[in-house]
């Protein structure tokens, strides 16, 4: 018996010690600890949610229809040759062919690289392929998954702790960024499509100047894009470029993008291509020496340098009038990849930190006030047994916050409500046990037998109430949004810990007392 009591006391003491260690990084004293000590201790801490810390909440809508168009554009770029330029029309892509042999070669290439494409029609000069409805559905669904992954990568590289990114419905994404202090920069980073293209400048067109001055129509094979510059007086200046349609290569061949500095310490973005991209870039620069190659990101021309010679090694640069912050953001979006489809901002809400401070202050006050009232009630009504229950409640709170720190959980205002509810459930469990013990004592049983019977008879009732509440919390977590999930996480962890402290924490104290001497009366 003594061994069992010793083991349970050691278990409670060990759990308390570990919880306090896990809680240390979340306390102000953490900063005062020596660096060598902090390296030995767990570094995870409880993060504050958007409603407590402040930040921004954004609802995005993914234009999934554009994902199908983007897929066709990628196919067009990959299949393009000097003698064949595909044309996109709706959800179809048309390839010009010069002979039956060319047609057979084209069909074999398409079958090998894009087996899901179907031949819609063909004649002596054109073969038209289309995307079947089932593949369109898959592309749209994949666009949502890919968009969430790209946004998550960008936010992680931006350095936001504990962001919330979740899907809502068929085409919406909810993003919450606690503690963000530059919402405009964050929005630019999240919402940018980052579709990078390399296009030739049509300098050989004799009417280029008239076209750019809008005195002549844009020919079918060209398109006009603009670069954004800052004038001498700080005004925004747009410079037009006449570019040839059809990207020579796209940003999906980039393996890395980093900020570098030029001769005069001006920042630029250095691009590194993968093996396929390096070969293609080598070919492009070899075939177009003395021509200008425009680097276009989201239909904006960043630079259009003249290709002086063949560029080998798979390296390129994006130069411009960048600040260091702009160059860093550009490298982040290029490194994390382009969004598969444009995203539109449906809602953008910024929460100030003052609201979070007020919420924390009110939540802490409510928790302390409720805790004091409960502790006093238990101590007055159940006397010494109530004091034992009060100790179990304090242990419950320590283990709960320690578990939240171990899980790197985010504490929200509903989460504080979950903690208060956990306190109430802890009290309820002890009330059930103590009332059972009282009944046994009234029936004339000895104190030791009354304690054992009280715990045994209350066991199933306590487990039943906790399991039903846990099921409810799990449902809230699965189907709820951010704040509801915060409440569900706190409640779920609190229920499991409360069950442990109610059935083990208080009982081991009673067992230790009755093991030393035979009690004739119990203060309850």
Please name every residue paired with 301 in a beta bridge, in sequence order, or none if there are none. 296
Give pLDDT < 50 ranges for the chain. none
Strand pairing report for 410-411 and 87-89: unpaired
Sheet order of strands, 267-273 included? 254-261, 267-273, 315-318
State the DSSP string of 199-221.
EEB-TT-TTHHHHHTTSSPPPTT
pTM for the model stands at 0.58
Do 2-22+352-516 and 67-134 come out as alike in CATH topology?
A: no
Domain ranges of the chain: 2-22+352-516, 55-64+138-350, 67-134
List the Cα angle 437/440/444 in 5-degree steps: 135
Written out in words, the top-level CATH class of the domain with range 55-64+138-350 is: alpha beta
Identify the pLDDT of residue 241: 93
Identify the pLDDT of residue 224: 93
Identify the pLDDT of residue 440: 86
Both tokens of residue 106? Answer: 């084209």
92: enclosing H helix or E strand: strand 92-96
Cβ atoms 148, 155 nearer than 8 A = no
Q: At what angle do helices 482-500 and 353-406 cross, to 10 degrees?
A: 40
Task: Report how far residue 414's alpha carbon sits from residue 485's, in angstroms, rounded to the nearest whole number.
Answer: 9
Distances in whole angstroms, Cα of residue 221 to Cα of each of 26, 80, 84, 197, 202: 61, 14, 13, 16, 10
Identify the pLDDT of residue 484: 78
Residue 58, φ and ψ in degrees, nearest 5: -125, 135
Both tokens of residue 337? Answer: 């990849």
Burial 356-384 (b: 16+ CB within 10 A, else e): beebbeebeeebeebbeebbeebbeebee
Q: How does DSSP classify residue 247?
A: -
Each residue's pLDDT tens digit, 323-359: 888 888 888 888 877 788 888 888 888 776 555 567 6
Identify the pLDDT of residue 482: 62
The residues near 278 (Cβ < 8 Å, ≥ 6 apart) are 312, 313, 314
State the CATH architecture for 67-134: Alpha-Beta Complex (3.90)
Task: Report how far residue 269's alpha carbon sits from residue 248's, in angstroms, rounded to the nearest whole number.
Answer: 20
Each residue's pLDDT tens digit, 205-250: 888 888 888 888 998 889 999 988 766 666 678 889 999 987 888 8
Q: What is the 3-state secondary structure (H, E, C) of 285-299?
A: HHHCCCCEEEEEECC
Q: 2-22+352-516 maps to which CATH number? A: 1.20.1640.10
383: enclosing H helix or E strand: helix 353-406
């Amino acid at each position: 018996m003594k061994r069992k009591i010793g083991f349970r006391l050691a278990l409670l003491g060990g759990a308390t010690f570990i919880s306090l260690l896990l809680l240390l990084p979340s306390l102000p004293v953490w900063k005062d600890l020596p660096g060598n000590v902090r390296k030995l201790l767990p570094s995870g801490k409880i993060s504050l949610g958007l409603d407590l810390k402040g930040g921004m909440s954004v609802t995005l809508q993914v234009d999934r229809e554009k994902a199908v168009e983007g897929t066709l554009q990628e196919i067009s770029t990959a299949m393009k040759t000097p003698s064949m330029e595909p044309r996109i029309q709706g959800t179809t892509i048309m390839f010009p062919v010069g002979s039956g042999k060319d047609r057979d070669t084209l069909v074999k290439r398409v079958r090998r690289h894009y087996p899901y494409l179907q031949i819609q029609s063909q004649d002596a000069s054109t073969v038209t392929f289309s995307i079947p409805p089932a593949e369109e559905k898959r592309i749209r669904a994949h666009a949502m998954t890919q968009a969430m992954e790209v946004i998550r990568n960008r936010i992680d590289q931006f350095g936001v702790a504990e962001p919330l990114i979740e899907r809502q419905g068929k085409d919406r994404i909810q993003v919450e960024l606690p503690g963000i202090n530059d919402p405009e920069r964050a929005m630019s980073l999240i919402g940018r499509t980052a579709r990078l293209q390399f296009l030739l400048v049509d300098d050989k067109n004799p009417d280029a100047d008239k076209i750019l001055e809008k005195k002549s129509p844009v020919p079918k094979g060209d398109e006009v894009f603009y670069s954004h510059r800052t004038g001498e007086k700080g005004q925004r200046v747009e410079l037009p470029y006449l570019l040839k349609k059809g990207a020579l290569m796209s940003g999906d061949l980039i393996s890395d993008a980093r900020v570098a500095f030029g001769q005069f310490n001006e920042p630029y973005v250095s691009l590194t291509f993968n093996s396929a991209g390096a070969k293609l870039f080598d070919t492009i620069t070899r075939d177009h020496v003395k021509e200008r190659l425009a680097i276009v990101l989201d239909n904006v021309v960043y630079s259009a340098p003249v290709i002086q010679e063949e560029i080998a090694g798979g390296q390129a640069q994006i130069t411009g009038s960048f600040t260091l912050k702009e160059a860093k953001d550009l490298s982040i979006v290029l490194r994390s990849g382009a969004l598969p489809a444009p995203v539109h901002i449906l809602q953008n809400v910024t929460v100030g930190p003052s609201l979070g401070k007020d919420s924390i202050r009110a939540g802490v006050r409510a928790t302390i006030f409720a805790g004091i009232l409960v502790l006093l009630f238990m101590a007055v009504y159940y006397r010494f047994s109530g004091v034992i229950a009060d100790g179990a409640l304090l242990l419950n709170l320590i283990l709960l916050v320690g578990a939240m720190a171990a899980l790197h959980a985010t504490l929200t205002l509903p989460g504080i409500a979950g903690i208060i509810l956990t306190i109430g459930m802890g009290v309820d469990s002890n009330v059930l046990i103590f009332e059972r013990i009282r009944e046994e004592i009234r029936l004339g049983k000895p104190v030791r037998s009354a304690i054992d019977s009280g715990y045994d008879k209350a066991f199933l009732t306590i487990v039943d109430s906790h399991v039903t509440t846990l099921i409810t919390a799990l449902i809230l977590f699965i189907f709820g949004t951010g704040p509801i999930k915060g409440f569900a996480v706190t409640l779920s962890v609190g229920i499991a810990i409360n069950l442990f402290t109610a059935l083990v924490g208080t009982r081991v104290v009673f067992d230790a007392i009755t093991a030393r001497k035979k009690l004739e009366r119990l203060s309850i």
